[in-house]
Structure 1
Amino acid sequence: MAILYSAQLHPTKLELLAGWLPTQPWFAHDADVPLDRVGAYRFDDPAGEVGVETILVRADDTVLQVPLTYRDAPLPGADPWLVGTMEHSVLGTRWVYDACTDPVYAATLASVVLGDAVQAEEVVVTPDGEHQPRTPSTVVRAEPAGSATDAPAPPVDGPVPCSTTGRATTILIGGAELTVLRVLDLDVHGSALPALVGTWPEQAEPVLLATARPI
């Protein structure tokens, strides 16, 4: 379960991304292109310490997938993948990382794609302490469904190996190779490999988001 707060963020997530995305090789737009939030989904950190959120944004007519992790302290060795820091009015300073190098994201993605876990439920804590369920703006699932396999365990700390070629990033964790699509093709709805697909209000047909294969 992802516990969220009614909080003020400075800078906002989109403001962070507006400065970071133009530095990425898969971002093929002008640096000042407006970004629109399409949706987002979350995974559960079993330890309950790291926020794991993937944001979908539109730049011109392209939908980009941006996995992020939120930490209360720097991830050792991950400075090159730091998106930035932001001040959270409830949680304090948060270090925001490109999640593809974060061991928590890699392990949770593998768990979901390989059928051993599911998308996180979202609960918002209001200023008066009430816990209110929230429907995710993007719904993701593994395909094929029901093919649960033991997901690889993450390293104890430090970044995991990842590399970007073209419009996708490959992550190596345990005995699995994960591929995260950074630029989404809205006409591609699945894969021959175990895959993560997603829908959102403007996209009724599932879109391929990520794949996993043993190595």
Structure 2
Amino acid sequence: MALLHRATLRPTKLELLTGWLPGRGWYDGPAGVDVMRVAGYRFDDPAGAVGIETLLVRAGDGPIHQVPLTYRGAPLDGADRWLIGTIEHSALGRRWVYDACGDPVYAAALAAAILAGTGQAEEYFEVDGVREQRPPMMVIDSSGADDADLPQVGTPRQVVDADPALIVADAVELAVVRRLDRGTSSAGAALTGTWEGQPTPVPLAYAARR
């Protein structure tokens, strides 16, 4: 479950991505154009410490890109390469925002979603002490959901910032599709998604045992 706050963010997530995306080698869209959200989904952190959100975004008439993010209350040691920036959150204070492909908490959550079918987090707002569920912006599904023997992911040994992004751990290799219009495929079980205007499932990520 993801408990969301009705809060002010400075800068906003999309403002942060507008400045960051054009510097990625896998980005294929206009620079200097505001990024717009198309859809998104979240995973749960079992420890409840890290926010895990994946945004599907587009700049202008460019293609849709998938950008997984993690939100932390303190810097992640050794992850400066993956830091996108910081956000001032009116309810939670300063949050460090990372490209989640470099965050081990995301790697474990993604592997669980694909190989064990844990799915996406249900999203709630708390209003006057009452929790109200927010309808999902998209639906995800996994072809590996019947595999209950989930390997321990641990800290990835290698992360390749490409399209797809590759996350290599001792027991599993993950591939995260960045640009969603290319029909990218990879080995292993697949995570797919559908959203408004996209009724046909689109591959989002893959997981293969090592």
TM-score range, shorter chain: over 0.9
- Which consecutive aligned stretches of 4+ in structure 1 deviate over 6 angstroms post-superposition? none
RMSD (Å) for aligned C-alpha atoms: 1.8
* Aligned residues with identical type, % of pairs: 52
Question: Given the alignment of the two structures, is residue 183 of structure 1 paired with residue 184 of structure 2, yes or no?
Answer: no
How far residue 29 of structure 1 moved from its aligned partner, in angstroms, is: 2.5
Partner of 1:193: 188
Query: Aligned equivalents of 1:122 and 1:31: distance in 2?
Result: 32
TM-score, normalised on structure 1? 0.91
SS state at 1:111 partner: helix
Superposition deviation, residue 150 in structure 1 = 1.1
Q: Please state if 1:135 is matched with 2:135.
A: yes
1:3 and 2:37 equivalent? no
Alignment gaps of 5+ in structure 2 = none
Q: Secondary structure at the match of 1:120?
A: coil
Q: Which amino acid aligns with 2:158?
A: P
Are residues 1:153 and 2:149 paired? no
1:116-131 equivalence runs, <5 A: 116-126=117-127, 128-131=128-131
How is 1:27-42 mapped onto 2 (pairs within 5 angstroms)?
Answer: 27-42=27-42
The number of residue pairs the alignment matches comes to 209
1:35 positional shift: 1.8
For residues 183-215 of structure 1, give each alpha carbon's deviation from its aligned partner in whole angstroms, at most 9, with x where no partner exists: 012757x76620100011111111000001112
Alignment partner, residue 81 of structure 1: 82
Q: Residue type matched to 2:26 in 1?
A: W
Deviations 1:8-33 (A, max 9, x none): 11111100000110111011223213
1:98-150 residue CA offsets vs partner (Å, 9 max, x unmatched): 00010100000001110252211111123x23211111102111114423331
Distance 1:198 1:107 in 2: 19
The 2-side partners of 1:101 and 1:24 are apart by 14
1:2–1:123 Cα contact (<8 Å) kept? yes
Aligned partner of residue 33 in structure 2, secondary structure: coil
Task: Single out whichever of 94-103 and 111-120 deviates more from structure 2.
Answer: 111-120
Q: Which residue of 2 aligns with 1:173?
A: 169
Unpaired runs of 5+ residues, structure 1, are none
Aligned to 2:200: 205
Aligned partner of 1:164 among 147, 161, 165 = 161
